[in-house]
Amino acid sequence: MKTQCLGVLLAGGLARRMGGGDKCLLKLKNHSLLERCIERASPQVEQLILNANGKVDRFQKFGLPCVPDTVADFAGPLAGVLTAMEWSKENAPQCEWVVSFATDTPFFPKNMASALMP
């Protein structure tokens, strides 16, 4: 069910266990994890945004709205979900649902959004 669903790609973490940086920009067979996630998530949702913190211009080439957490101090993935809900209310009020996709798990199901719908 693609309509009325906003997708948020969660990439706002610090990657402390990996020494820092953007996990989603790591390459897997010549494509970044983020590219793979965009490819899988886009067909599932009406609109897709990226939740990331820091300098958002590093994600400009992906062509998605990049929205930093509205909660301070890297509060975790739920801060990204909250941010997406707040963003949706202002920018995509037609979306009744928000589905989150972790950008360090590039093989989530191609029907994940519809499988989660009631």
Question: In angstroms, rounded to a whole number, what is the distance separating the alpha carbons of residues 13 and 24?
Answer: 10
Is 48 in contact with 118 (CB distance < 8 Å)? no
Q: What is the mean pLDDT of residues 3-7?
A: 87
Domains of the chain: 5-116 (3.90.550.10)
Question: 9-61, pLDDT tens digit by residue?
Answer: 999 665 555 555 688 888 999 999 999 999 999 999 999 999 998 888 899 99
> How big is the CA angle at 104 (ends 13 and 117), to the nearest 5 degrees?
100
Tokens of 77: 């993935």
Tokens of 20: 């820092």
Q: What is the mean pLDDT of residues 71-83?
A: 88
Polymer length of the chain: 118
